[in-house]
Amino acid sequence: LAWQRAAKLAEVPEGALKAVEVAGEDIALCRVAGEVYAVSNVCSHAFALLSEGTLEGFTITCPRHGGQFDVRTGRPLRLPAIAPIASYPVQVAGEDVLVEVED
């Protein structure tokens, strides 16, 4: 595992979703109540990019079939999503958002 720079903090505004690629992983970043979270950007149900969905509080809604996940844990919250998505440790270092991924 290694900490990798994923984005500038300014690129992750409160309440928005940002797609990034870190070490070959598609990751969705978001900031909720001042904290930055990183989860897989690919839905666990079928193929869809969660960064193209919506974020309300800690809940991300898939644009394809409306499955929902908690951005803090990747836990599925609503059908048809039943499998969790990966969630990644995040650290903010100055202006940078770092995500811990397999290297």
> Which residues here bind ligand FES, judged by CB under 6 A?
43, 45-46, 48, 62, 64-65, 67, 80-81
What the block records as the tokens of 4 is 């990798």
Taking alpha carbons only, the member of 55, 4, 8, 52 closest to residue 25 is 4
Please state the closest distance from residue 44 (CB atom) to ligand FES, in A.
Answer: 7
Please state the closest distance from residue 46 (CB atom) to ligand FES, in A.
Answer: 4
Please state the closest distance from residue 14 (CB atom) to ligand FES, in A.
Answer: 24
